[in-house]
Amino acid sequence: MSPNHRDPARLRRRLLAWFDRHRRPMPWREDPAPYRVWISEIMLQQTQVATVIPYFERFTARFPDLASLAAAGEEEILAAWSGLGYYRRARNLHRAARQVAAAGGRLPREAADWERLPGVGRYTAGAVASIAFGRPAPALDGNGVRVLCRLHALAGDPARQPLKGRLWDLLGELAAGARPGDVNQAIMELGARVCRPGAADCAACPLAAACRARAAGDPLVWPERTPGAAPRTLRLQVALCREGEAVLLSRGERPFLGGLWNLPYRVLDGAGELSREGWAGLGLRLRGARRLGTLTHGHTRYRLEQEVVAARAELLDREGAPEYKWAGPRERARLGLPAFATKALARFGDQ
């Protein structure tokens, strides 16, 4: 196979022709204003497209531009983000909006300037700069890693150097020509729809003729991976306390969504930096507690097993305790409780 078979310009043409025919409609693609592209890329971090779309549409309807986002309070931002998870993204997005607004309100054009904003790493910077402004910046995500590792049959762990840097260089060569934003999106789309983790549809791939993994006969061998650590299991006790239709909520400097209003909880079995907690130390005494059941919930690094108890609540005066408040159905809807709490309310709210 001749070396120019994998020439970046030729690969780019094939990718773009395929993308023009097969690109999925997405709201930020139909209206790729820089602000909308930025919001979409933050939401797409560690979250699938199908999940993001309805959140994106609601969020941008509520905060249609940088000025409205920067002017909003954090609680309002978190409520609008509720259910999407990884809430640090929302806080960083808010901080970045205020930082840009304070500097004049003009979003950066270059990837290097995007990387100076809170919550923006190399991938997001390259994605926004290339898609919104046409800058020749690569944006390498997991789908792109898989496509490039198979295309070039690259050995090694793509999460580690030197392969990690080599992959960024390869995508940079592709994004250095025409339509860099579409090139980045085409690689992602190809990995999401054709060159998938457990199945490679080589017959539908525009790069099949140049793919070394296909020529080797088993594309699924690539990319190589070092097994990651399994999530740790933590046991929590969650208190469901009622006064009429109102439910007791708490927030504070806590692990697991501490900046959001949530059902009160304490750590039963700690791991690492998390130690066993008592309710009194959290400024709460439970009266007549009875066990309702157990729920599981996935978190970034942990698998949470939540023992839910119903009880009457007595608030104690304890320095450093979380903030508490009683909230009825309308206020809970306005606050946008996280999945951590909504699961318990949906399952046990009437018991």
pLDDT tens for the chain, 351 residues long, are 444 567 899 999 999 999 999 999 999 999 999 999 999 999 999 888 999 999 999 999 999 999 999 999 988 998 899 888 888 899 999 999 999 999 999 999 999 999 999 999 999 999 999 999 999 999 999 999 999 999 999 999 998 999 999 999 999 999 999 999 999 999 999 999 999 998 999 999 999 999 999 999 999 999 987 776 677 888 889 999 999 999 999 987 776 665 788 899 998 876 556 677 889 989 999 999 999 999 988 766 778 888 999 999 999 988 888 899 999 988 888 887 887 788 888 888 765
Is residue 323 part of the annotated active site? The answer reads no
Q: How many other C-beta atoms can be found within 10 angstroms of the C-beta atom of residue 25?
A: 7
Give me 171's structure tokens: 């995508």
3-221: what CATH class? mainly alpha
Interatomic CA distance for residues 49 and 327, integer angstroms: 33
- Give me the amino acid identity at 7: D
Interatomic CA distance for residues 248 and 344, integer angstroms: 13
CB-CB contact of 107 with 90 (8 Å): no
**What torsion do the CA atoms of 14, 17, 20, 26 make, to the nearest 10 degrees?**
0
What are the start and end residues of each CATH 3.90.79.10 domain in the chain?
Answer: 232-348
| Run of H or E residues at 46 | none
Q: Residue holding tokens 């750590």? A: 267
Interatomic CA distance for residues 15 and 205, integer angstroms: 9
Report the length, in residues, of the chain.
Answer: 351
Give me 327's structure tokens: 């909230």
Strand-pair category, 302-315 with 232-243: parallel
Q: How confident is the model at residue 258, as a pLDDT?
A: 59
Strand partners, 174: none
Helix (H, G, I), strand (E, B) or coil at 302: strand
pTM given for the model: 0.79
Instruction: Give the count of alpha carbons within 13 A of 200, CB side only.
Output: 24
* C-alpha distance across the termini of the chain, in Å: 69
Query: Which CATH number is 232-348 given?
Result: 3.90.79.10
- Give me the amino acid identity at 135: R
Interatomic CA distance for residues 132 and 31, integer angstroms: 10
Q: What phi, psi does 342 have (nearest 5°)?
A: -65, -30
Helix (H, G, I), strand (E, B) or coil at 82: coil
Strand partners, 269: 235
- Give me the amino acid identity at 130: S
**What torsion do the CA atoms of 261, 263, 264, 267 make, to the nearest 10 degrees?**
-110
Residue 262 gets which letter from DSSP?
B
Q: How confident is the model at residue 285, as a pLDDT?
A: 93
Q: How confident is the model at residue 189, as a pLDDT?
A: 96
Output the CA–CA distances (angstroms, integers) from residue 199 to 76, 103, 286, in the order listed: 42, 47, 52
Interatomic CA distance for residues 229 and 219, integer angstroms: 25
CB-CB contact of 19 with 189 (8 Å): yes
What are the start and end residues of each CATH 1.10.340.30 domain in the chain?
Answer: 3-221
* Measured CA angle at 271 (ends 347, 292), to 5 deg: 20
Helix (H, G, I), strand (E, B) or coil at 77: helix
Give me 238's structure tokens: 């969650």
The strand ranges marked E within 146-283 are 232-243, 246-251, 265-269
**Catalytic choice (30, 41, 273, 307):** 41
Give me 350's structure tokens: 């009437």
